[in-house]
Amino acid sequence: MEKRPIKIAIAGNPNSGKSTIFNALTGGNVSVGNWPGVTVEKCEGCSVYQGHRVTVVDLPGTYTLDAWTLDERIARNFIVEEKPDAVVAVVDAANLERNLYLVIQLLEMGAKVIIALNMIDIARSRGIEIDTDRLANALGVKVVPTVAARGEGIDELRQVIHDIGRTPITPRPLQIAYGEEIEQAITRISTLLTAKVAETEKRWWALKLLEGDTGGDNFTEAEALARTIRAELEQRHKHDAQSAIVERRYGFIRGVIRECVRTRPGISRALLISEAIDGVVLNRWLGIPIFFGLIALTFYLVFVLGTPLSELIGKLFALIGQLVSLTLSAVAAPEWITSLITDGLIEGIGTVLKFLPNITILYLVISLMEDSGYMARAAFVMDRFMHLLGLHGKSFIPMIMGLGCNVPAILATRTLETRKDRILTILVNPFMSCSARLPIYILFTSAFFTRGRFVVLLSLYLLGIILAVISARILRWVFFRSEEAPLIMELPPYHAPALRTVLRPTWFRTWLFIRRAGTVIAPAVVIIWILARLPWGVAYASAESLLGKIGGLFAPLLKPAGFGYWWAAVALIAGVVAKEVVVGTIATVHSTESGRLTEIIQSYFTPLSAYAFLVMSSLYLPCVATFAAIRRELGWRWAFFTAGWTLLLGWLIATGIYQIGRLIL
Amino acid sequence: MKRLSELDIGEWGIVRSVTGKATLRRRLATMGFIPGVAVAVKHCAPMGDPRAYELLGYCLSLRQEEADLIEVEPLPVYPLSTAPPGKVKVVGIEGARGVRAKLAQLGITENTSLVNRATPAGPVIIELSGKELQLGRGVAKKVKVTVIPEENGKATD
């Protein structure tokens, strides 16, 4: 028997447990990163069932397929263009009515839909009984009840995917009666679509155009007709075609629900608890203090819990360095090899990996906030504030994620509805101090600001946020002087975060950090080591070395900011590869154990120039990965714009602080 | 007829119409704001804007700007002692902590839906999670309920 590979897509509303189903089906065998809550990258996983390869694509969570947000367009285009063998629609059983709206659209498209009726336990606890057989009959699809968080129903779902995915029969698209006038409009538009789309897809395309979506160059004629018809209907009824279509769909859903759902009066405990929490967290007076309290707590944990652990790792690397150099001298290895391995590799990588505990804790807390449902509340509470600052409440989530890493944060902006908001949120994101900058902060604050350390750290984060806000205001004023997108955002019920769904992304992000230490930071450190050695014969990492020459070229530019040292320039240049490299470079150049690094920088910097250096390294240039993410999302122009803007502001502010500080102190 | 933005926290209303730009109207419609749907105001952010609403059994936030576009018919609120018979939803409880705690023990809090037997005199008899309960008239007076139409909305022709 031929074993044809099956390709399926997973669609569903945000918060329907889509990612959990995806993880359960693929067993975590995923090829692209999956950022929790915001599965905006196209994640592909793979599993084998009864000898068949099953490729599973996780579509972005959407409420509809209107092509309103980028997420919706990604999901829609995938189903239209790639025609997966089956689409698993993950439906929140406790929230059936709104969730079915997406399912209806999938059925109208003619997709082979399988419904995973997820969180059926929660629905039951709320007194909602769903007759799955009737639901399956009413919609003409297979329905599998699941509790993905506990793995219930997953085997059955696999079997159904296997059965449906292999049958070559494509279902007839669902036809909802939209009433005489709209039906006539559909027929008129359909005739223009002949030979452009398949016969079975004509109705769906006609509907979409009538709803006001654009279909590309192929459809200009039909689109124009749709526009005319919409205007006609609007004039005749004062009621627009688009809303009428949505209402008809909901009307159909209500009919289905009447048939298959029984609700007992009562209320579930879980929902009561969730509302009680919201009563406090969304309180008029407590909301903002609680939010800032949580952020403060996060950073307190990062430093207080993380620092002892990171010192332990530092000692471990020092020990490894000693052991290696002892072994190498025992086998009489040439001096330069010993130098490369101990001064270069072990020092460089060790200095960076030392910060692993701090970074893991930060990621853990961010994942907890996302998974528990607090992130949406934070956006809700902060919306007015963000509005004043010229940003959207939803921009807030990418901004907070930026504190972890700017790259997933930039991807997370895809949930924003307008391009303007997206561009603004992306452009100001590099000002959010990512965790890779932490090593620099920790090194310098422990050397210079032992007493006021927390205040100095906080000031760096705040400075970044303030600049983000000012930049957003300026950019909005210069480029996009128009109204903001609405804040139409679901506040999902809280749930106790599942260990797996929190730990997986935490581990994944931490692993990326470790891998970067091997793939990006190690080569960077080796290149720096080589440049520090050349030309042959100069003293290692002296001002006469190639490295010294390059640094010396830029050093004068940094002099007004108080740190015109050639190696400071080199560290900043190398930091563009990844911000962690700044510290690694300083360690490599001075070829010293990280323990003594403190003394060395103390001999070069004053507290004032150290602060200026911190400001500069916090603000200047996004790292290469961030730059690439901006380019991919917005193109070269905006990527270079961000680079220039951050470099300019970083230099101006560092210089300003140093010069003004010198006058005062 | 009121605008959704004018309802107070805890109040329920039935959506009658949505105005504004076509794209926004469509967006609101897909999230459930269509004529006939019952909406309640749940929470209010600091500075009074945005607010969170309950509809179709879930919670959604809107800015006042958007809520201004939605016209609703506020639902009348009755004390449980004189409420019409059938399924009602608790929207508020008046009175001291003690009363609230006692009612909570019985499973009656804000947002509980229950069936009212509407006895003309004597204790008020209700049905909750399949069980029959008796409440004194004095206590029942403090429980404010509203009737949410079973048929949430209708298709417009």
Q: What is the CATH number of the domain that holds B100?
A: 2.30.30.90
B136 in the same domain as B82? yes
Asked if residue A110 lies in contact with residue A255, where contact means CB atoms within 8 angstroms, the answer is: no
Which residue type sits at A436? A
Q: Both tokens of residue A491? A: 């506040």
Buried b (16+ CB within 10 A) or exposed e, A153-162: bbeebbebbb
- C-alpha R_g of chain B: 17
Which residue out of A126, A384, A392, A482 would a mutagenesis test of the B interface target, given it has the greatest number of B Cβ atoms within 10 Å? A384
One of 3.40.50.150, 3.40.50.1700, 3.50.50.100, 3.40.50.300 is the CATH number of A6-166, namely 3.40.50.300
- What's residue A39's pLDDT? 39
**Phi and psi dihedrals of A89, rounded to 5?**
-95, 115
Residue A152 pairs in a beta bridge with A147
Which residue out of B9, B49, B59 would a mutagenesis test of the A interface target, given it has the greatest number of A Cβ atoms within 10 Å? B59
From A598's Cα to the closest Cα of chain B, the distance in A is 45
Is residue B153, in this structure, part of any structural domain at all? no
> Which residues does A559 contact at the CB level (< 8 Å), separation at least 6?
none
Calculate mean pLDDT across residues B135-144.
86
Other beta carbons within 10 Å of A266:
17
Contacts of A248 in chain B (CB under 8 A): 155
Contacts of A284 in chain B (CB under 8 A): 44-46, 48
Angle between helices A624-634 and A419-428 (to 10 degrees): 170
End of a domain among B49, B74, B99? B74
Asked if residue A144 lies in contact with residue A115, where contact means CB atoms within 8 angstroms, the answer is: yes
A285 in contact with B, Cβ within 8 Å: yes
Smallest Cβ–Cβ distance between A490 and the set B42, B59, B157 belongs to B59
The residue of chain A nearest to residue B87, with distances taken between CA atoms, is A265
Q: Both tokens of residue A641? A: 């714009």
Is residue B19, in this structure, part of any structural domain at all? yes
CA distance A542 to A549: 9
Is residue B155, in this structure, part of any structural domain at all? no
Domain boundaries, chain A: 6-166, 180-263, 292-664
B150 in contact with A, Cβ within 8 Å: no
B86 in the same domain as B64? no
Beta strand segments in A142-260, E? 142-145
A359-395 tens-digit pLDDT: 788 778 877 887 888 888 888 888 888 887 778 877 8
**Among residues 118-147 of chain A, which lie with CB inside 8 Å of chain B?**
127
- C-alpha R_g of chain A: 29
B109 in contact with A, Cβ within 8 Å: yes
> Which residues does A80 contact at the CB level (< 8 Å), separation at least 6?
A109
Smallest Cβ–Cβ distance between B27 and the set A266, A488, A491 belongs to A488
Is residue B26, in this structure, part of any structural domain at all? yes
CA distance A175 to A98: 19
End of a domain among B41, B74, B107? B74
Domain that holds residue B64: 2-74
Spatial CA neighbour of B79 closest among B96, B99, B93:
B93
CA distance A64 to A556: 56
Q: What percent of chain B has pLDDT over 70?
A: 95
A18-43 tens-digit pLDDT: 888 888 888 765 554 433 333 345 67
CA distance A350 to A341: 12
Is residue B113, in this structure, part of any structural domain at all? yes
Q: What 3-state DSSP class applies to A579?
A: coil
- What's residue B68's pLDDT? 94
Handedness of CA A161, A162, A165, A167 (dihedral sign): negative
Other beta carbons within 10 Å of A560:
16
From B85's Cα to the closest Cα of chain A, the distance in A is 14
Which residue type sits at A334? P
CA distance B96 to B142: 10
Q: Which residues in chain A land under pLDDT 50?
A: 1, 32-40
Q: What is the ipTM of this complex?
A: 0.83
B45 in the same domain as B23? yes
**Among residues 78-107 of chain B, which lie with CB inside 8 Å of chain A?**
87, 107
B90 in the same domain as B129? yes
> Which residues does A213 contact at the CB level (< 8 Å), separation at least 6?
A66, A67
Q: Which CATH architecture has domain A180-263?
A: Orthogonal Bundle (1.10)
The residue of chain B nearest to residue A492, with distances taken between CA atoms, is B59
Q: Are B45 and A488 inside 8 Å of each other by CB? A: no
Q: Are B156 and A247 inside 8 Å of each other by CB? A: yes
The residue of chain A nearest to residue B153, with distances taken between CA atoms, is A251
B86 in the same domain as B70? no
Q: What 3-state DSSP class applies to A8?
A: strand
Q: Are B59 and A95 inside 8 Å of each other by CB? A: no
Which residue type sits at B133? L
Spatial CA neighbour of A360 closest among A438, A446, A463, A456:
A438
Other beta carbons within 10 Å of A99:
25
H helix and E strand count, chain B: 4, 12
Which string of DSSP letters, residue by residue, matches chain B?
A: -EEGGGSPTT-EEEEEEE-S-HHHHHHHHHTT--TT-EEEEEEE-GGG-SEEEEETTEEEEE-HHHHTTEEEEEPPEEEGGGPPSEEEEEEEE-S-HHHHHHHHHHT--TT-EEEE---SSSSEEEEETTEEEEE-HHHHHHEEEE---SS------
DSSP A561: G
**Phi and psi dihedrals of B86, rounded to 5?**
105, -165
End of a domain among B34, B52, B74? B74
CA distance A474 to A606: 34
B113 in contact with A, Cβ within 8 Å: yes
CA distance A62 to A65: 7
Asked if residue A368 lies in contact with residue A502, where contact means CB atoms within 8 angstroms, the answer is: yes
A155 in contact with B, Cβ within 8 Å: no
Q: Both tokens of residue A581? A: 């490299």
**A43-49 and A52-58 strand pairing:** antiparallel
B140 in the same domain as B82? yes
Is residue B151, in this structure, part of any structural domain at all? no
The residue of chain A nearest to residue B104, with distances taken between CA atoms, is A272
Q: Are A265 and B129 inside 8 Å of each other by CB? A: yes
**A142-145 and B38-44 strand pairing:** unpaired
